[in-house]
Chains A and B, each alone.
Chain A
Amino acid sequence: ETGVTQTPRHLVMGMTNKKSLKCEQHLGHNAMYWYKQSAKKPLELMFVYNFKEQTENNSVPSRFSPECPNSSHLFLHLHTLQPEDSALYLCASSQDMGGKNIQYFGAGTRLSVL
């Protein structure tokens, strides 16, 4: 148990569906991250929030929409996804954006887009 919980663990959706991924951390951290993990590719940083403010958006398509209502919760809203968006989506948190900070990861949501 890392203190970062992601739900759901598995999600299957059609290309016209709208769904949301949820991440919750009880570590008192101020920075939260969304990553995409695809087979045989490096871990891709998608979004970063620091003190609830979005600080990074790594050219992610607009069909992915993040939301950070408070420092403990992070959402990733999905709509009109493509099959190539199928992947493991990982949430992480860290104390802040300092260089020595360790990232704590959730177990991920395995997304399949049909």
Chain B
Amino acid sequence: GDSVTQMEGPVTLSEEAFLTINCTYTATGYPSLFWYVQYPGEGLQLLLKATKADDKGSNKGFEATYRKETTSFHLEKGSVQVSDSAVYFCALSDVTGGSYIPTFGRGTSLIVHP
């Protein structure tokens, strides 16, 4: 079946540091790829998405590029802020029996210190 693998956390950074959170996937079809973010006490919310190879999703300074050849969708940000502290989930949506079923990774906790 489909799966999403994310790097183990927590990732601890100082403010203004560069962030990379790795995500790789396996899928039987041609999935859409997503990053969701979960702030403390809240549900998940979409951060960015990409629906085909070489697409780059971006939002709030975060970027991720759909790499079909390496089955990866790594999340990056050039300069993190304390307010970026949250749990980040990589996800894919692939067709199963005619419907698209979402699959999520385990999540990576990011802690940003002032």
Which chain A residues have a beta carbon within 8 Å of chain B's beta carbons? 2, 4, 6, 33, 40-43, 45, 48, 50, 55-56, 90, 92, 97-108
Contacts and interface: CB of A to CB of B under 8 A. Distances in A.
Interface residues of B, number: 26
Contacts of A100: 32, 49, 51, 93
Query: Does more than half of chain A's interface fall in helix, strand or loop, or is it mixed?
Result: loop
B100 A41 contact: no
A2 B45 contact: yes
Nearest to B49: A102
Nearest to A9: B41
A77 to B, nearest CB: 21
B106 A97 contact: no
A104 to B, nearest CB: 8
B82 interface: no
B42 to A, nearest CB: 5
Residue from the set B100, B103, B106 with the largest chain A CB neighbour count within 10 Å: B100
B49 A103 contact: no
A108 to B, nearest CB: 5
Contacts of A48: 99, 101
A45 B102 contact: yes
Contacts of A103: 36, 44, 46, 102
B94 A108 contact: no
B75 to A, nearest CB: 17
A107 B107 contact: no
Given A42-B104, A99-B100, A107 B89 contact: no
